[in-house]
Amino acid sequence: MNKANKQIKKVVIAGGGTAGWMTAAALSKLLGKNLEVILVEADDIPTVGVGEATIPTLHIFHRLLGINEREFMAATNATFKLGIAFESWRDVDQHYLHSFGFLGQGCWAADFQHFWLKGKKLGMVSDIGDYVPEHLAAREGRFAVVEDQARNHAYHLDAGLYANFLQKIARQHGTKRVEGRIENVVLDDKTGFISSLKLANGKVVEGDLFVDCTGFRALLIEQALHTGYDDWSHVLPCDSAIAVQTKTVAKAVPYTRSIAHGAGWQWQIPLQNRTGNGLVFCSKYMSDDKAKKTLLAKIEGELLNEPRVIKYKTGTRRKHWNKNCIAIGLSSGFIEPLESTGIHLFQKAIVRLMLMFPSQGINQSDVDEFNRQSKDEIDNIKDFIILHYHLTERQDTPFWRYCRNMEIPSTLQHRMALFRESGKVFKKEEELFGETSWVQVMMGQGLMPIAYHPIVDLMSDNELQQFLQHIRLATRRKVDSWPDHLDFIKQYCPSKVAN
């Protein structure tokens, strides 16, 4: 029996961190009865560990694993996240919020923005965010989790504590952890498949299927298998980040702050016990020293650790599954942290692997389908991230002038033109970001449609006014029923971790 058709009974995960332990927890709990799962990680190799903001799709992963929200939040110092505030992105001192949730109410032919656009023309609407409960609640610092509520919230969390939380689940369900630094990836002479990992301490870990969670180093998928990388830095030019943690001094808000600066942007992520801060920048336009000074000048509170510089190249591995190796996490590529898609991409790859798990042997059709789905998903997310940089009125620095004038993918050009000319947004089946997200960001960045769907004109002006007012008042009533979000956290999921 050749290596490709060999039954998969032993999975080796190379690397820990969030990606590694998410993979281990899912495989061991959901597929583990017939599977041996081994995770190899070195105690002396730090993880990137700054992916501290999530999006609502994490609920899907937690539901699969039976994770209790209150326990998870208490264990990871988590707070609620209802969206992202984009400050100075459209132009200096012009701000907007991209919230989770759904925008108003549409009809079979036209989404809500078409009704709102006519209402705006007639002077009968307020800010479009007033028609989204999560948007209004984020601005007012309110939130609660109630029974039968749609799960349109996400979290700010401590990535290191999250990996520890998942490690407990994985090990409870049989994952074995092997400590050691990977020194050599051994390939089969005939098939080119990975046969084992040789560790610096002399241990050899054999397996049938290998998952590369070694981060930017990509020890298996790239250094051993030479899979290749598509570089996106011409459209996503930021290539560096500096991260630092501080004591919390201001009241935590239920959203991530993304504050644009002359050569990139700064994040601010409030947890229960501290604040995560970082600066994303393009090294062509800002040095590491200048970036560090810029970040330290703009943060509040005592530093809890030394600022550290993280270098990366935006892009994607040409294949996320190559031979008997699947890349999950930063080894598969990196878009950038702007819309908090990192952990989402980890979980989608894990679920995709479980759906196509090659228990009877690796079939090329499964590999091809896995890679096709991975490519489609990441291409769509890439377009959404490029939108924030390109659709800007900023011309105050060389960085923003480059972003305004850079050539963008034809798929994004089409989306922007469609929205500008007709107000229409169409979501593809496998796409992450839906109509509400595209509408909020395009309008927030200054792109307003010149037309709306003609079905709106079937309503009289009075009917339209009543329709819009009903949605706004229903949104208002819902948000008024929610308490202060920090008060809710104190009774719902107070941190169990010492400050």
Mean pLDDT value across the chain: 95
- The model's confidence at residue 5, banded by pLDDT at 50, 70 and 90, is low
Q: 12: domain range?
A: 7-52+158-231+315-362
Encode pLDDT of 362-371 as tens digits.
999 999 999 9
* CATH classification of the domain holding 326: 3.50.50.60
For 105-133, what is each residue's pLDDT tens digit? 999 999 999 999 999 999 999 999 999 99
DSSP 192: -
Contact 333, 222 (CB under 8 A): no
Contacts 24+ apart (CB under 8 A), 431-434: 431/377, 431/380, 432/55, 432/57, 432/341, 432/344, 432/377, 432/380, 432/381, 432/384, 433/339, 433/380, 433/381, 433/384
Is residue 418 in some structural domain?
no
Residue 220, in any domain of the structure:
yes
**Residue 206 falls inside a structural domain:** yes
Contact 232, 213 (CB under 8 A): no
- Residue 155 parent element (H or E): strand 154-156
pLDDT in tens, 375-430: 999 999 999 999 999 999 999 999 999 999 999 999 999 999 999 999 999 988 77
| Average pLDDT value for residue range 340-345 | 93
Residues 48-68, mean pLDDT to the nearest whole number: 88
Question: Coil, strand, or helix at residue 403?
Answer: helix
Q: How many domains does the chain have?
A: 1
**Catalytic residue selected from 81, 118, 323, 382:** 81
Strands 79-81 and 256-261, sheet pairing = unpaired
The residue assigned the tokens 């699947």 is 326
81 given a catalytic annotation: yes
User: By percentage, how much of the chain surpasses pLDDT 70?
Assistant: 97
Q: 112-149 burial, b if ≥16 CB within 10 A, otherwise e? A: bbbbbbbbbeeebbeebbbbbbbbbbbbebbbbeeeee
Residue 321 pairs in a beta bridge with 326
Q: pLDDT exceeding 90 applies to what percent of the chain?
A: 91
What distance lies between CA 400 and its chain's CA centroid? Answer: 23
For helices 112-121 and 435-444, angle between their N-to-C axes, nearest 10 degrees: 30
Structure tokens at 270: 């409030």
Q: How many Å apart are CA 97 and CA 52, to the nearest integer?
A: 19
Q: Is there a contact between 136 and 475 (Cβ–Cβ < 8 Å)? A: yes
From edge to edge, which strands make up the β-sheet containing 229-231?
229-231, 315-317, 333-334
Tell whether 85 is covered by a domain: no
- When comparing pLDDT for 148 and 214, which is higher? 214
Q: Is residue 32 included in any domain, yes or no?
A: yes
Task: Kindly indicate the confidence band of residue 1, based on its pLDDT and cuts at 50, 70 and 90.
Answer: very low
| Residue-wise pLDDT tens digits, 240-293 | 999 999 998 889 999 999 999 999 999 999 999 999 999 999 999 999 999 999
Identify whether 40 is part of a domain: yes
Kindly state whether residue 196 falls inside one of the protein's structural domains: yes
Domain contains 168: yes
